[in-house]
Structure 1
Amino acid sequence: TALENLTRALDRGVDVVGGIPHFERTMRDGAESVRLLCEIAEKRGLMVDMHCDESDDPLSRHVETLAYETTRLGLQGRVAGSHLTSMHSMDNYYVSKLIPLMAEAGLHAIPNPLINIMLQGRHDTYPKRRGQTRVRELRDAGITVGFGSDCVMDPWYSLGKADMLDVAFMGLHVGQLSSRADMRWCFDAVTVNSAAIMGLEGYGLEVGCDANFIRLQADDPIEAIRLRAHRLNTVRGGRIIASAPCVEHVLDMPGRPLTLEASNYAPKGNSG
């Protein structure tokens, strides 16, 4: 059975409990699966990442149950709801109740912009819903929001390349996060926020942190997203494991520079 397979996987070292309640046959079955999976995580001391309400149905409300079980079992800070796309279609009155419940439970949110904009709204003619969850409202309520990719190359999304700058770029557009502060936040949504959701230790650029990072050909985080910046170095454990030369374009245009580097055209001054 599914429960036996889950138990076997956890016994072999899988360290996060997952689920997909909106795929159950009934809403009641979905709610029961959330309860059962959260209880398993609580007993084993594990985190939870629930594929939750990846639907255009505004009545798909399993995230409410997830918030309740998180609080009931004392799992605050260890549970994430991924996708949450039904929140895009929920009425504002219900959401005004739901988001505070999520914040109270210490629930994290993981929108997946590339796959969400690809799959959601498929049953719509026009107007056609974007489908991405309420990123701005969740963030402003104090909920940790980290953008995810979800798919790389599979039947649901065959164009992915595990590029988190692509994810940030799409999330910014779909969420209309276009102020300088919002764009800067989108970089955090694929870096520090996601690291916090995963509970990564030693993450960051401060002295004493693990030396795991990617060096980008960009002057600031906003330019990194705008350009989906070229990767110069990948460093793992203090060792360079991949490198590429700086990208520079050669021009043959009278009166223009001989070479052009895109990152030199970043706006100067405070990027925040």
Structure 2
Amino acid sequence: MKNKFDLVIKNACLKNQAAEKYNIGIDNGKIVAITKENLGHSLQEIDAQNNLVTESYVNPHLHLDKVFTLDRLDELAMAQYHQNEMTGAANAIELASRVKTQYDQSWITENVRLALEWAAINGNTHIRAFADIDNKAKLKGVKVLLELKEEFKDIVELQIVAFPQDGVVKEPGADILVNEAMVMGADVVGGIPWIELTDDDALSHIKSMFEIASKFDVPVSMLVDDVGDSKLRTLEMLANITIAKSWEGRVLAHHARAMSLYPDKYHSELVEILKKAKVGIVTDPHTGPLHVRVQDLLEQGVLVCLGQDDISDAYYPYGHNNMLEVAFLASHLLWMTTKADMNVLYDMITVNAAKAMGLQDYGISVGNTASLVILDVPNVVEALRFHRHPRYVVHKGKVIVEDGEIL
């Protein structure tokens, strides 16, 4: 008898439908059936055993070229970044940049490969990966990420960000290198305007990067106001230029930690600008003592998602590309501890993050690409409680991980 499906997942609990059990049929990389009925013959069958099956995890913020570099530095940058309400964040970036004088594609490749393997094991199938571009790093990180993007294309999908970490105005030639990175095949134009020395320079930084984004017709991801200074306004600059350039829905603002210090009136005004610009916010509350007002932004209709940010680098000693762990930590740091809160946190590492990255045909729906995780617990609360790796990870319709082993 002819097989109707390449893969059937039976006895699956879907998010917010714990009382019902479903069978999911997958064929040619797509979800083609979600039903309570028996789906019949398939080439492969997995019994979810009445446990949770959801979309795979999405990480919209990871400094992938710098993973596992903490041992190459001291802890001075981390101290500057984490102490005194983050007033030393700019100094932290200068201290952290020392590692780039040691950049070598061989060890960067080894580190990145391990991080991507961990991502797959933890069900993290999509990553927006930042690569530093400046006069120290040159294009070494970008070259490695481009090579491994191809190597891992059927396991973890990368969106590579050409990221001028040390500035544009204060780092002459960085804009030229960003342009070169886009020619090489990077997917997203990055930026960090708050690192510039004046507001005018910050504005020039943003405009310069938007010119490149417009030239290559790509999204923009910028780290904004990542320091304990309530006077910083680069998020507002970014949102206004997004509107002026008609780039609505294609821009992410990362960190924006100074939002936590803004006067309420200005915060409310800024939220309206963000909504008009359709700028999404990526927050990483576990990597620094300040963070955006997540609940307020969500209630106002701003797209907010979570990112891993760092893995054992100058800013953060932990991390292993486990987005459930990121959500678990956020639950504590944001005091989001009701069941409704936990469902929101889960969305922030799945559907919200996917929307932020512009992913198409993502999600547990018929017709979408079959990228999903099969857990060993029945619901979101238990998924966050234990934050273990999935039993199975399916990507593009194929089982890529079983019991913590990449197939």
SS in 2 for 1:146: strand
Deviation at 1:202, TM superposition (A): 2.1
Deviation at 1:155, TM superposition (A): 1.4
Distance 1:190 1:142 in 2: 17
Distance 2:263 2:244 in 1: 26
Pairs within 5 Å for 1:160-175? 160-175=319-334
Match of 1:190 in 2: 349
Match of 1:35 in 2: 207
Deviation at 1:185, TM superposition (A): 0.5
**Bigger shift: residues 175-184 or 14-23:** 175-184
Q: C-alpha offsets along residues 91-112 of structure 1, whole Å, 9 cap, x if unaligned?
A: 1121011111111111100001
Equivalent position amino acid for 1:240 in 2: V
Pairs within 5 Å for 1:64-103? 64-103=236-275
TM-score of the superposed pair, with normalisation by structure 2: 0.55
Equivalent position amino acid for 2:383 in 1: A
1:218 corresponds to 2:377: yes
Match of 1:260 in 2: none
SS in 2 for 1:226: helix
Q: C-alpha offsets along residues 205-249 of structure 1, whole Å, 9 cap, x if unaligned?
A: 11221122222112112221122134201112222122118xxxx
Deviation at 1:145, TM superposition (A): 0.7
Distance 1:68 1:240 in 2: 43
Number of residue equivalences: 232
Equivalent position amino acid for 1:58 in 2: S
Does the 8 Å contact 1:212/1:238 carry over to 2?
Answer: yes
Distance 1:87 1:203 in 2: 30
Distance 2:174 2:233 in 1: 23
Distance 1:5 1:66 in 2: 21
> Any unmatched runs of 5+ in structure 1?
121-130, 246-272
Match of 1:264 in 2: none
Equivalent position amino acid for 1:219 in 2: P
Of 183, 188, 207, the residue aligned with 2:366 is 207
Match of 1:17 in 2: 189
Equivalent position amino acid for 2:309 in 1: D
SS in 2 for 1:241: strand
Pairs within 5 Å for 1:241-260? 241-244=400-403
Does the 8 Å contact 1:77/1:108 carry over to 2?
Answer: yes
Deviation at 1:113, TM superposition (A): 2.1
Equivalent position amino acid for 1:93 in 2: K
Q: C-alpha offsets along residues 172-213 of structure 1, whole Å, 9 cap, x if unaligned?
A: 222222222121100000000000011111211112211222
Does the 8 Å contact 1:203/1:209 carry over to 2?
Answer: yes
Equivalent position amino acid for 2:312 in 1: M
Match of 1:151 in 2: 310
Equivalent position amino acid for 2:237 in 1: T
TM-score of the superposed pair, with normalisation by structure 1: 0.82
% identical equivalent positions:
33
Deviation at 1:5, TM superposition (A): 0.4
Distance 2:212 2:301 in 1: 27
Equivalent position amino acid for 1:217 in 2: D
Higher relative contact order (CA 8 A, sep 6+): 2
Q: C-alpha offsets along residues 110-157 of structure 1, whole Å, 9 cap, x if unaligned?
A: 0012212xxx3xxxxxxxxxx111111111111111101111121111
Q: Runs ≥4 in structure 1, deviation > 4 angstroms? A: none
**Bigger shift: residues 8-17 or 23-32:** 23-32
> Any unmatched runs of 5+ in structure 2?
1-172
Match of 2:226 in 1: 54
SS in 1 for 2:364: coil
Structure number having the greater strand percentage: 2
